[in-house]
Amino acid sequence: MGSYLPTLQFGSFVLVEDIAIGISHGCILTSGSFKCWGDNSEGQLGYGDSFDRGDFSSEMGDYLPFVNLGSSVNAISSNLGSRFSCAILDSLDLKCWGDSASGRTEQETTLDIGDDGGEMGDNLPPISFPNALKVRFMETGIDHVGIISFQGFLYLWGENGAGQLGLGHTSDIGDGSNDMGNYLKPANMGSGRSTFQFMGSQTHTCAILDNFRVKCWGGPISDGRLGYGDNVARGDSPNQMSDYLPYLNLGSEMNVVNLQAAYAHTCAIFSDDSMKCWGDNFVFKIFIILIFDFFLLIF
């Protein structure tokens, strides 16, 4: 470690403004453009092939190309899932590419995107949302994705086998016709409620609402990842969301301002800078996952 640990090279005059890490690939943001490296088995690097990058010489630095997101397009942030990537553009639209299983890229297909020529750039359309809404916040779980609109509506798509999309069923969303555009329904957070922030994990999702309280849904729940003190899955059947979905009991007068979720556990940061965590504590001890970007949401 220390001075023996080399600096990653991304090219001449390339300054790293932001970084996103998936399970086995990463992307940096620099001057509105992306460079990505690592596993590319599903086209998640977005280079029009399935060749990994970063494991041999002459693949990083100036040899590592920029991802083509389209003409006159600048990116402002990204999030990476297990084998897919998503980017918010300066138009506040969203593009996703890579593994399209379960509809993760929301292009109404299960074919990978970004592993063949002619699939990126202007050929990759922005994701179609209801009423052409714009994206305020975006986050990826391991195999599902979601955005918050400027009106505070939470839309989720992708893998839904445990009800992690919060739509009252277990059908995947985004892999077939009549899934997108005005067909896409928001997760119902309750009467008069809007969503401030959310985090997705493997099979569950948690959200901070506009009253700074937290709700979680999905499953399985034998490891306590939902935080309700019972063994009841939520979000996979009718009448489990909206006002039927209770708030987590995280303590009296405790306002949650940030969430971070890993594979099967979640941590909440409160307005007094304290933190509580819940979920799987067997294989890995619950630990702090702090990402600077989310502090920007607070201050």
What are 209-245's pLDDT values in tens digits?
999 999 999 987 778 889 999 888 999 999 999 999 9
Distance (Å) of CA 58 to CA 21, 48, 267, 281: 22, 18, 40, 41
Under a CB-based contact definition with an 8 Å cutoff, are residues 206 and 214 in contact? yes
Q: What is the pLDDT of residues 31-48, one digit of tens each?
A: 999 999 999 999 999 999
How confident is the model over 125-137, as a mean pLDDT? 94
Single out the residue in 70, 97, 122 at which a domain terminates. 122
CA dihedral 8, 10, 13, 14 (to 10 degrees): -100
Q: What is the mean pLDDT of residues 152-178?
A: 93
152 and 18 inside one domain: no
Which residue, 72, 104, 122, sits at the end of a domain? 122
Do 23 and 138 have their domain in common? no
Place of tokens 């556990």: 265
Residues 145, 117 within the same domain:
no
* Shared-domain flag, residues 68 and 30: yes
Q: Are residues 19 and 39 in the same domain?
A: yes
| Sequence-separated contacts (24+) of 128-132 with Cβ below 8 Å | 128/180, 128/181, 128/184, 129/94, 129/155, 129/180, 129/181, 129/184, 130/155, 130/181, 130/182, 130/183, 130/184, 131/182
- Whether 117 and 152 map to the same domain: the answer is no
Same domain, 59 and 140: no
Residue keyed to tokens 């490891």:
223
Residues 23 and 134 in one domain: no
**Domain limit, last residue, from 122, 147, 170:** 122
Kindly report the number of other CB atoms within 10 A of residue 157's CB atom: 26
Judgement on whether residues 118 and 189 belong to the same structural domain of the protein: no
Q: Answer yes or no: do 134 and 202 share one domain.
A: yes
For residue 252, give its domain range: 128-299
Q: What is the CATH number of the domain that holds 279?
A: 2.130.10.30
Quote the pTM value: 0.89
- Locate 285 and state its tokens: 């001890």
Q: Are residues 217 and 168 in the same domain?
A: yes
pLDDT beyond 90 at 104:
no
The answer on 35 and 73 residing in a single domain is: yes
The arithmetic mean of pLDDT across residues 5-14, rounded, is 94
Where residue 289 falls among pLDDT bands split at 50, 70, 90? very low
- Structural domains counted in the chain: 2
